[in-house]
Structure 1
Amino acid sequence: MAVTIAAPLTGTVIPLTEVPDPVFAKALVGPGVAIDPGEVATLTVTAPVAGKLTSLKPHAYVISRQPDQGVLVHLGIDTVHLKGAGFTLRAEAGQQVEAGEEIVVWDLAAAREAEKSVVVPVVVLETDAENLTLAEAGPISSGDPLIRIS
């Protein structure tokens, strides 16, 4: 059964290879794409798929559709060093979420002041790249199809 993963934010789709972090750029975490939010000041980041919010940190979260497959949304690069500054959690770890539900509101000022990249990788965990169809590079709106798992 095919599953569609929606864009968790509005911005510009870029290939993972352009993410300024070798762990994401080399798809070591898993295959996917990234979204550059552009010059916005604040972002509402949503659940890209329905499932259980199995991990929730200010800068990243994982939603699991089934025990062996999750979707990681990582807000920026090296933003863990911000220790939560600029991130407001709108959900709790362990809860069931629907696609499009608010997870984090992100004020990007703290990340930009610390000179952190605000690019957002969206990665499918525990799957192979050949099972995925990725959105083309270019503009995307929150909720639009981003990744299709076949």
Structure 2
Amino acid sequence: MAKYHSFKTPLAFPNKTLAVIALHAKQQSIILNAIRARLPDELTSSIKYLAVSGGKLQVYTDNAANATKLRFHGPTLLDAASLATHAKVLSLQIRITETLRQEYRVRKPGPKLPSMAIIKALRNNQASKSADPLDQALMRLSLTLEKLSKKPAES
């Protein structure tokens, strides 16, 4: 006699961890919808996701301009979260998503160097063998700037 094996969903097993996680995610989406309903239309899509833990509401958005706009609506956000959770939400924290922060870290501006024409002009002005310390310092500066401008940019 062949045994019939049926596929069980993860929620059918005795461990209800996934059920708790699914319930928590559903509660967070209810809070998100309640907050979006009370915001102006231009800000409703700026909230990517949120998290409510205890008396703290964390709102994640995609850029700093939207974060600033959302800070002005802070009391509205806290009231909507309090009504949706049936508990008092006391503090608000607005964050920019991590993927955008990583993009900002990649961009490292190098030193701003003058053009080769300016470096050569500096050297030509100091071409005389003067004993003046200022002339010697400008000559060394032009040599250093030339070396730095020939180096490949580090990334």
Tell me the TM-score normalized by structure 1: 0.23
Tell me the TM-score normalized by structure 2: 0.22
Structure number with bigger Rg: 2
Q: Which structure shows the higher strand fraction?
A: 1
Q: Which structure shows the higher helix fraction?
A: 2
Q: Which structure is richer in relative contact order (CA contacts within 8 A, separation 6 or more)?
A: 1
